Structure 1
Amino acid sequence: MSERGVACRRTREDMISVLPDDLLCQILYNVPTKTAVMTSVLSTRWRSIWLSIPHLDLQSDDFPNFTAFANFISRFLDFSKGSSRLHKLKLESWNLDFVSGYLDPCCLITDWINNAVTRKVQHLDILYPWIVKKMPLSIYTCETLVSLKLTNASLADCEYVSLPCLKIMHLVDNIYASDAFLEKLISSCPVLEDLTFVGNRDTEYNLRVLRVRSKSLKSLVVDLDGNTDMDSETTGKGVVIDAPGLDYLSLEDYQSTSFVISKLSFSAKVYVNVGFDMAFDTAVIDSSKRSVVRTFFTMLSNVRDMTLSGTTLRIISLYLKHELLPQFPHLIRLHSVFYNSDLGKLPNILQSCPNLKSLVLEPEEFKMNELLVLSSSSSSVPECLRSSLEHVEIKTLIRGAVAEMELVKYFLENSAVLKKLKLCLRRGRMNEESFILMELLRLRRCSPCCEVVIQLEELNETRQSMVRYYTFL
């Protein structure tokens, strides 16, 4: 083949290299910096392209020690001074044990962040394995920030906070100057849409009350499950949420003893994993704790979609020994994880959801001879089973245990408008599988249009999961 032919073939094989620099930079912008740097060995054409990317995404684990990590960042920032912008700065460091004596990580981080703020950074993501002392105050007035994610940082007080473009803020295991400052930080983001707040540190988490006030917020994730000991450090902690535009609320909290949640929108989806700072080995709930539980669920009474953890269901089960739950007249979808000992309270829970249309249950795996007692007399059948419940799914694998069949029987015999009951069956020996299927076929159905869909899982010769479906009309 002639030299011209070889050149033409290489050109056809490497069409990407003939693209303009701006387009190549845009491609490399979407990969970690380590990957972008590796392209420099492809050819002289690629040698310095990565230096023009307005994006630095590094992990210290990619370097032999922190000194090499810090030197690389400093060189990159020096090389790219000609660029007016640094759109994204993402740094993760886990090997600070290798820091040389003359390097001060906190000073370096401050310099890097200040450099990024000066160059109109839009996305700032800093993650370190231990508390970084005092983040620079420049982040509080960065007018270009769209996303701010901080982990293990210490946030000092600042008189003036203004983040006019910030839409995403994730705060994980940080130290805050005060409750009031954190509230000011959140409320100083007029277009904030996505807020995640995690406080899992047993010794460092120092807030008493988390206050989230935002008219623009659409998604809120709160995770405060770091300390379940009922002592002076946890007693009195609380959560206040005033965000009427929320579409999604995830609340995991084993610390707080009080909650104030302003009226949520009808479209809000809610995930609740709350312990109410309560011991689970108790047989009764005192009146003050019942008041907290009652108030909490009353504040959620207008949501349409709710998921409840097994821990929260345990507390609801204890609560139902004393009084009924508040009504959820707008709830149309409920997803519940159950400890089997609490399943007997399922009719009482459904009685509080008169317009429920979809129910997903995740009980524990039943023992073969374990019993389950669910009331099924006409006077005690929940209203939703008689008039609205159309879809039920039991996600736990059915193995033919007595309690499993009683649970399936309860829905088939009492749900008047049920359209679909979905079950999951583990493929076993043929006679066991056939027995379970025959038992299901014998069950009487209250709804004439109900279909039972069985997802049958099995293992093939390569031990990979396979799925088959049976549908019984």
Structure 2
Amino acid sequence: MDIISGLSDELLIKILLYVPTKVAVSTSILSKRWEYLWMWLPKLDYRSRYNSRSERKLLGCFLDKNLPLHRAHVIESFRLDLRNSNLRPESIKMWVVIAVSHCLRELEIIYDSYPVKPNILPSNLYTCKSLVILKLEGDILLDVPRVAFLPSLKTMHLRSVRFPDDEESLQRLLSNCPVLEDLLVDLRENDSTGKLTVVFPSLLSLSLFIPDTHDIDGIVIETPSLKYFKLKDHNQKIHYCLVENMPNLIEADVDVELPYINSVVGSITSVKRLSICSEAYDQGFVFNQLEHLKICFGEFSSNLLVRLLNDSSNLQVLELHEMDNHCHDDTMVNWNQPSTVPECMLLSLQTLNWSDYSGTPGERDLAVYILKNAVHLKTMKITSFEGEVPKFEMIKELALSSRASTACQLVFHCLY
């Protein structure tokens, strides 16, 4: 008898967890001992994305036949990547029913079909007491029943899923997850939500993505325990955003084009790390705890940068990068030098990381200004494309600039 076959079933199952489910299933042909061993696996991961049409059909037949015979008392995770699968919605719904009956802890489904057949979720999923993680993406209809209740759900990620005409379906789902800690909602293009309300005392992480063609009336957020917040909103429709204060927030990522940016920023002033991409911020707030600032630059970003530097007296790390997916010029035309040097440059700023440096007069003036005024600067790292900025000229011009910090090192990195 070989050494592996001499191991206990429990240990063999743990070994099988380290290989893809498809490989684990293939061990059933090794011997009688291995024939049904994979059926005790607590983690199942099935993918048909890169398979041929015949292989996808075989996957469906395999699950129809074998999943009802699965022997694990608890299925810790059940993952289905069914992009371009054309599998029958009725079959997928039955697989989820079976998984839920095994005290399912985590469910992840990625699904699309043509023509669209989105109703693949059974009603018993919405009352699964054991479910802790739910991740759904694609042509999946969330027709949430009124009796929905997920008492153990802590993580929910919804990416481009579909909702019925009843706009209360999403709100009903959110309001019936009492211990939710991590929520991601990526709304679908050309769909409608009405008012999006996120009110969770327990929520620790919130990410919202509002596409430009989504029909939304407004956003209301009340999450007093939140530690991470991300809002990406390029929506073309003017809508309100009411955000309650987030006193425990540590990190925020704000990328919006609408004029309500002040109400959003005003609620996140406790952050230590902030990434911001907006041209509408025009009111000073006090960021006493902000240590790391990442800002995208564009035609009008000079004013935004000055305001944020003035508002962040303890800033240690400053990152500058290009403005992605905005309908504006990505270059800083002019550097509007402030009348007084921001306090953070005199007391705390130590690192500047500048990516996509193009060497325009405005960018050059800003780099020279920081070198001249940042008393405690240790590193200025500049990354540029060789075709945009001749490396030698850039190094020479900045290297010869006067520096407030004798310890400052200039680091240049060129991309080809």
- TM-score calculated relative to the size of structure 1: 0.75
1:56-110 residue CA offsets vs partner (Å, 9 max, x unmatched): 3212344616543322112122332x4433332222223354x5xxxxx232222
Shift of 1:270: 0.6
The correspondence for 1:162, drawn from 149, 164, 180, is 149
**Cα distance 1:215–1:28, how it changes in 2: closer, same or farther (>3 A)?**
farther
CA distance in structure 2 between the aligned counterparts of 1:138 and 1:424, rounded to whole angstroms: 53
- Which residue among 49, 54, 58 is the counterpart of 2:37? 49
Provide structure 2 residue ranges, at least 5 long, that are not aligned to the other structure. none
Q: Is the 2:384–2:413 Cα contact (8 Å) retained in structure 1?
A: yes
Is 2:146–2:172's contact at 8 Å kept on the other side of the alignment? Answer: no
What is residue 178 of structure 2 aligned with on the other side? 190
- Whether the 8 Å contact between 2:247 and 2:268 is mirrored in structure 1 is no
Aligned equivalent of 2:15: 27
What's the counterpart of residue 301 of structure 1? 269
Q: Distance in 1 between matches of 2:183 and 2:304?
A: 34
Is 2:119 the counterpart of 1:133? Answer: yes
- Local SS of the residue matching 1:396: coil
CA distance in 1: counterparts of 2:14 and 2:353, whole angstroms = 45
Answering whether residue 320 of structure 2 is matched by residue 361 of structure 1, we say yes
Tell me, in whole angstroms, the C-alpha distance in 2 between the residues paired with 1:67 and 1:363: 45
Q: In structure 2, the residue corresponding to 1:315 is in which secondary structure? A: coil
Is the 1:423–1:452 contact (alpha carbons within 8 Å) kept by the matching residues of 2? no
Contact map agreement 1:114 1:136 (CA 8 A) in 2: yes
Query: In structure 1, how many angstroms separate the alpha carbons of the residues matched to 2:90 and 2:211?
Result: 32
By how many angstroms is 1:409 displaced?
0.6
Give 1:307 shift: 0.4
Q: Percent identity between the aligned chains? A: 28
What is aligned with 2:225? Answer: 245
- Deviations 1:295-353 (Å, cap 9, x if unpaired)? 222222332221013xx2x334xxx4xxx444433322210111145335532332232
After superposition, residues 24-423 of structure 1 pair within 5 angstroms as 24-41=12-29, 45-61=33-49, 62=51, 64=54, 67-80=57-70, 82-97=71-86, 105-129=88-112, 130-133=116-119, 135-151=121-137, 152-177=139-164, 178-202=166-190, 205-227=191-213, 233-234=215-216, 237-255=217-235, 257-276=239-258, 289=259, 292-309=260-277, 312=278, 314-316=279-281, 320=282, 324-343=283-302, 345-363=304-322, 372-375=334-337, 379-397=339-357, 402-423=361-382
C-alpha contact (below 8 Å) 1:264/1:303 kept by paired residues: no
Change in 2 beyond 3 A, CA 1:208/1:390? same
Q: Which letter does structure 2 place at the counterpart of 1:445? A: R
Amino acid corresponding to residue 75 of structure 2 in structure 1: L
Task: Kindly provide the amino acid, as one letter, of the partner of residue 451 in structure 1.
Answer: C
Distance in 1 of aligned mates of 2:255 and 2:175? 25
Q: CA deviation at 1:457?
A: 4.5
Relative distance call for 1:438 and 1:83 in structure 2 (3 A) is: closer
Structure 2 distance, partners of 1:186, 1:446, is: 52
Q: Deviation per CA, 1:386-441: give whole Å up to 9, x if none.
A: 3332222212246x65444322111011223333322236679xxx6454433333
Residues of 2 paired with 1:60 and 1:325: CA distance? 51
Distance, in Å, in 2 between the alignment partners of 1:65 and 1:403 is 57
> Whose radius of gyration is greater, 1 or 2?
1
What SS does structure 1 have at the residue aligned with 2:44?
strand
1:343 to 1:51, Cα distance in 2 relative to 1, 3 A? same
In the superposition, the TM-score normalised over structure 2's length comes to 0.84
SS in 1 for 2:54: coil
* Conservation of the 8 A alpha-carbon contact between 1:340 and 1:364: no
Q: Distance in 1 between matches of 2:55 and 2:266?
A: 54
Q: State the distance in 1 between where 2:332 and 2:206 align.
A: 39
Letter of the structure 2 residue corresponding to residue 125 of structure 1: E
Q: CA deviation at 1:251?
A: 0.9
After superposition, the Cα gap between the structure-2 partners of 1:370 and 1:306, relative to the gap in structure 1 and judged at 3 Å, is: closer
The 1:131–1:107 alpha-carbon spacing in structure 2 relative to 1, beyond 3 Å, is closer
Mapped partners of 2:302, 2:241: distance in 1: 26
The SS at the match of 2:180 is coil
SS at match of 2:356: strand
AA partner of residue 347 (structure 1) = V
Secondary structure of the residue aligned to 1:76 is: helix
SS in 2 for 1:185: helix
For 1:295, the aligned partner's letter is: S
Q: Classify the secondary structure of the residue corresponding to 1:207.
A: strand
Per-residue deviation, residues 122-163 of structure 1 (Å, max 9, x unmatched): 111222214522632211211111111222322224232322
Match for 1:424 among 383, 389, 393? 383
Secondary structure of the equivalent of 1:360? strand
Higher-helix-fraction structure? 1
CA RMSD of aligned residues (A): 3.1
- Residue 192 of structure 2: SS of its match in structure 1? coil
Query: Per the alignment, do residues 422 and 16 of structure 1 end up closer, same or farther by CA in structure 2, a change over 3 Å counting?
Result: farther
Aligned-partner residue type, residue 252 of structure 2? V
Instruction: Indicate conservation of the 8 Å contact 1:347/1:381, yes or no.
Output: no
Aligned counterparts of 1:272 and 1:370: Cα–Cα separation in 2: 20
Q: Give the 3 Å change call, closer, same or farther, for CA 110–134 of structure 1 in structure 2.
A: closer
How far apart, CA to CA, are the structure 2 residues paired with 1:458 and 1:251? 30
Could you report, residue by residue, the CA deviation over 1:236-264 in whole angstroms, capped at 9, with x for unpaired residues?
A: x2122222222211111223611122211
